[in-house]
Amino acid sequence: MSSSRKPTVVVAGLGDTGALIATRLARKCNVVGISTRPALVSGQELGTRLIDLPRWRRTYLIPYRRFRKLDAVDVVHGRISSVDFENSKISVDVSGGSSREIPYDYFVIATGVSNGFWRHDRVEDLTTIDTELSAINAELANASSIAVVGGGATGVSVADNLARGGNASVHLFHSGDEPLPGYHPSVRRWMARQLATDGVTVHPNHRAVVPEGFAGDHLTHDPVEWSTGQDPFTADVTLWALGGVTPHTKFLPASVLDDEGFVLVDKNLRIPALPNVFAVGDVAASDPLRSSARNWGFRIVVSNVKELVRGRPSKLKTYKASEYRWGSILGLQEEGLTVVQPNGKRFRIPRKLAEPLLFSVFVQRVLYGGLRKK
């Protein structure tokens, strides 16, 4: 098939999910990827990012020009401002000021969510990304006491990594009896023990009073007050990891969103009534935990787009979510990479295998399809 006859797939957002989809469709289709940044800046492993930025960057901050499989993709640096489903086209505010309309045959929405200071939809260049990352790390490195508010995977990972870093006393506050809601009960018990072993002072049953209008998008220094009645707590720095994510869906009409603003999808990860439009990753209301990013939702979308291109809609694959969250919580540590599973079991990949096999071979070669050296 000549390149001009290939269908056009527009991928909105080239984060953890969108980048994988773009690399895998680039041979069969003309792929246009819209990205707010010129690099993959992963939302994964905030804990290790805050204590060992150079190592985190090797796997989780990668300029798109290094991805061999994105060579054939038209990467547009900017933000989608609107979509016209009737005429199958999107409008993009391109970095630098112009705007561009792009028609599509298939549209994949993978624009993710905003979460604290580490995930957002601002249009940025590489220098700004670097400056922001270094400033946050420097502020934490200079603190002698740190409060982390929030007992989800991010709060736990950050608190544990900072405590292992050893520069500050670290206090983790969460509102339940045990951290990690949404994880299997035995994972939650294991993590409570792990935090204590690693030197985190855990304060259960503390619900913070969130300052009016504050979205947790920067570090704070004022005392934290509790609606659960405890005395205010003062640390040099407070990091908020409240899990209150905001979906990046302002460019979409309300008719395709649920009450919280996430994109409604069917079992094939398509928007109902729009057979050529998919949504996947944290932005998609695919299951109660919205877990299609780590549950390989990108494979479902890639396969289903290819089937539609071949004219075989009866062959579409169905997305299946796991009941409990799974994956790595603490990131790579001296003892290796511990991965918790949906059934509550966990396994550990020793460090000397994790670095060469998981990060260099699996992530960089298999998942990303080969990276150029810097």
**Rounded Cα gap, residues 183 and 176, in angstroms:** 13
Q: Does 50 bind ligand FAD (CB under 6 A)?
A: no
Residues 233-262 that bind ligand FAD (CB under 6 A): 248, 251
Q: Does 327 bind ligand FAD (CB under 6 A)?
A: yes
Q: Does 38 bind ligand FAD (CB under 6 A)?
A: no
Site string for ligand FAD, 264-283 (x = CB under 6 A): -----------------xxx
Q: Does 43 bind ligand FAD (CB under 6 A)?
A: yes
Residues 143-202 that bind ligand FAD (CB under 6 A): 153
Total interface residues for ligand FAD by CB under 6 A: 30
Got the DSSP string for 223-267? PBPBTTSPPPB--SEEEE-----EES-TTS-GGGB-TTSPEE--T
Q: Does 133 bind ligand FAD (CB under 6 A)?
A: no
SS (H, E, C) 10-28: EEECCCHHHHHHHHHHCCC
Longest dimension (CA), the chain: 69
**Rounded Cα gap, residues 91 and 88, in angstroms:** 11
**Rounded Cα gap, residues 192 and 174, in angstroms:** 12
At its nearest, how many Å lie between ligand FAD and the CB of residue 276?
A: 18
Angle between the N-to-C axes of helices 153-165 and 185-197, in degrees from 0 to 180, rounded to the nearest 10: 20
Q: Does 12 bind ligand FAD (CB under 6 A)?
A: yes
- Which residues, 6 or more positions from 267, have their beta carbon under 8 angstroms from its beta carbon? 318, 319
Position closest to ligand FAD via CB: 15
Q: Are the beta carbons of 75 and 64 closer than 8 angstroms? A: yes
- Rule CB under 6 A: choose which of 26, 80, 140, 180 binds ligand FAD: 80
Stretch that binds ligand FAD, among 16-24, 49-57, 199-207, 213-221 (CB under 6 A): 16-24
- Rule CB under 6 A: choose which of 9, 10, 11, 16 binds ligand FAD: 16
The β-bridge partners of 23 are none
At its nearest, how many Å lie between ligand FAD and the CB of residue 1?
A: 28
- Sign for the CA dihedral angle at 275, 280, 285, 291 comes to positive
Q: Are the beta carbons of 345 and 189 closer than 8 angstroms? A: no
Stretch that binds ligand FAD, among 107-115, 163-171, 173-181, 184-192 (CB under 6 A): 107-115
Site string for ligand FAD, 340-369 (x = CB under 6 A): ------------------------------
At its nearest, how many Å lie between ligand FAD and the CB of residue 112?
A: 3
- Sign for the CA dihedral angle at 139, 143, 147, 153 comes to positive
Nearer to ligand FAD, 282 or 355 (CB): 282
Q: What are phi and psi of 333, to 5 degrees?
A: -120, 175
Nearer to ligand FAD, 160 or 282 (CB): 282
Nearer to ligand FAD, 111 or 268 (CB): 111
Q: Are the beta carbons of 354 and 337 closer than 8 angstroms? A: yes
Angle at 281 between CA 218 and CA 290, to 5 degrees: 85
**Rounded Cα gap, residues 186 and 371, in angstroms:** 38
Q: Does 77 bind ligand FAD (CB under 6 A)?
A: no
Stretch that binds ligand FAD, among 23-31, 41-49, 53-61, 232-240 (CB under 6 A): 41-49
Q: Does 35 bind ligand FAD (CB under 6 A)?
A: yes
Q: Summarize as ranges the residues that interact with ligand FAD (CB under 6 A).
A: 12-13, 15-18, 34-37, 42-44, 79-80, 110-112, 119, 121, 153, 248, 251, 281-283, 293-294, 327-328
